[in-house]
Amino acid sequence: MKLKFFVFLAIFAVISGQEDIFVPDFQYDVDTNRGPRIVGGHDANIEEVPYQVSLRRYNEETQLWGHTCGGIILTTDVTLNAAHCVYNRLHMKFQIRAGSDLRSQGGQLVNVTKLIMHPDYQPSGLYNDIAILKLQHKLIFGSKVWSIGLPPRGYRVPDGAALLVSGWGALEWQGSSPERLQKVYVPAVSNEKCAEVYANIRPHKICAGIVGKDSCQGDSGGPLVYKNFVVGVVSSGYRCAYDGYPGIYTRVSEFLDFIVRNL
């Protein structure tokens, strides 16, 4: 019998009159369920996405560590994340697991020593949903652990471009999460098109996804990649892979000053 626990953070969002926005979940390491996809994706080897990490949070009551979000390696001791993954949790213990395609074992475990949220982060609407995490010691780079490049200032992904998203998030809306890392390609959606269904789209956000393919709960803070750049950070969306509702990501090119200042 598999045992799974979820802790959901309720974040208000106006999405065409709906409130079913996805937010990070928490899975203790006792869960070893393996599933076929992120939502509509496939198993991934960490060598394919060596910049991907699992952000893990310590639960004082259970004294267990568990996956709560994804994350992105920028340097040997800095990762990029979503602000909502650490909002109201600055007093908690975090660590990252790098270099493993398994959520609860293997790779390098490094404690997080400093959480830097964007100063203008707004939980209502998830505006400026980006954060920098400083690590206690340097990661050892190799084929399974490596950084990814930042996009040029003002960079815009072509509409319809195939973008790679990865993570250990739910396989469907409020569904189970895999032990093995997943990946899926999703098409970029213009902000104009995205604003037809979401009320909170701004230039600092980027949309991507199609019915049946998307990021989901537990993928928050993870990478959206085009070519050799991390162009987005998983932020939110109406349910997951829902027809007509793409996923919403923080547009990295709009936050280069914040990122570089805190490297």
Q: Where do we find the tokens 């393919």?
A: 213
Q: What b-and-e string marks burial along 128-142, b requiring 16 or more CB atoms within 10 Å of the CB? A: bbbbbbebeeebeee
Phi/psi-derived region of residue 128, left when phi > 0, alpha when psi is between -120 and 50, beta in every other case: left
- Give the active site residue among 25, 31, 67, 84: 84
Could you tell me the sign of the dihedral formed by the alpha carbons of 74, 57, 245, 180, in that order?
A: positive
Reported as type and span, the H/E element at residue 258 is helix 256-261
- Give the active site residue among 31, 129, 214, 219: 129
Angle at CA of residue 139, ends 134 and 141, nearest 5°? 135
129 a catalytic residue: yes
Residues 6+ apart with CB under 8 A from 152: 253
Cβ contact 203:52 at 8 Å: no
77 a catalytic residue: no
Phi/psi at 253 (5° precision): -65, -15
Q: What b-and-e string marks burial along 74-98, b requiring 16 or more CB atoms within 10 Å of the CB? A: beebbbbbbbbbbbeeeeeebbbbb
User: Would you state the torsion angle of the CA atoms of residues 120, 124, 129, 131, taken in this order, to the nearest 10 degrees?
Assistant: 70
84 a catalytic residue: yes
- Give the active site residue among 147, 220, 236, 253: 220
Cβ contact 78:137 at 8 Å: no
Residue numbers annotated as active site = 84, 129, 220
